[in-house]
Amino acid sequence: MWNSNAGLGGGIALNNAGSPFLENNLIFFNQANFGPGGGIWSVNSTPLIIQNLFVANTAQFGGGVYLDSQSMTSSAIFVNNTFAENVGNGVGLPGDGSAVYLVGYDDQVKFFNNIFASSSGRESFFCAPAGVLPALTDNDGFNSSGNGFGGDCANAAGTNGNISADPQFDPAVSNFQLKATSPAINAGDSTAPQLPQKDLRGKPRIVGGTIDMGVYEFQ
């Protein structure tokens, strides 16, 4: 857990950081007290965010991740991450993007097989691009008290395999594995770039030619 009083990323701050590769991390309980990006704050960087579990990170907006692509050459790829119970607390602001808040030149930003699940704020995934929308493929945006997708990405559900449904985390375990009835099972894109061979528990990622959304395969 980390506290950022400057509001520049509670857990990780990336500013003109090149192309960092973040895979198989547990990013829990970080706080950006006076700004965005509770888990990760990224500005003008081109990160690869692969199979990370973001839980209970807090910021004014972008509780899990805040991504600002200030250059038209910036890019970012998010694959098979799970966002759960992150908070956009909205202190002085609406609290948009409990899981992810995205701004800037987003046409090179891509999301595959992610779960954005929240129970606070106005929506889980928020985008306000300066032009072309980010590429969203086979993601689940769900907010039990608001909208799954918001901003210019409000109509993402129902397109390109994206859904807005309760991912049904199993309450019998504490690491956000899926129940057998989860709509995220077998709902991912098995041709997504940068796919890990194994899930966060070390189980095979692609089973029977299919892949689940989020960090865990249901097996």
Q: From residue 130, how far is each of 47, 106, 133, 160 by CA, in Å?
A: 19, 7, 8, 21
Instruction: Answer for the pair 200, 215: CB distance below 8 angstroms, yes or no.
Output: yes
Instruction: Answer for the pair 113, 79: CB distance below 8 angstroms, yes or no.
Output: yes
Task: Write out the E strands in the chain.
Answer: 3-4, 12-15, 21-23, 26-28, 31-32, 40-43, 48-50, 53-55, 58-59, 65-69, 76-79, 82-84, 87-88, 100-104, 109-112, 115-118, 123-129, 135-137, 140-143, 147-151
Question: Is residue 8 very low, low, confident or very high in pLDDT (cuts 50, 70, 90)?
Answer: low
User: Is 35 a residue whose pLDDT tops 50?
Assistant: yes
Q: Which residues pair with 142 in a beta bridge?
A: 117
Tell me the pLDDT tens digit for each residue of 42-65: 999 999 999 999 999 999 999 999
Tell me the pLDDT tens digit for each residue of 141-178: 999 988 999 999 999 999 999 999 999 998 777 789 99
User: Is 3 a residue whose pLDDT tops 60?
Assistant: no
Tell me the pLDDT tens digit for each residue of 95-138: 789 999 999 998 899 999 999 999 877 899 999 999 899 999 99
Average pLDDT (87-97) is 78
Give the pLDDT score at 71: 83
Under DSSP, the state recorded for 17 is -
Instruction: Answer for the pair 164, 139: CB distance below 8 angstroms, yes or no.
Output: no
Give the pLDDT score at 34: 81
User: Is 92 a residue whose pLDDT tops 70?
Assistant: no
Question: pTM for this structure?
Answer: 0.94
**Mean pLDDT value across the chain:** 92
Give the pLDDT score at 2: 45
CA pair distance 54, 97, nearest whole angstrom: 13
Give the pLDDT score at 139: 98
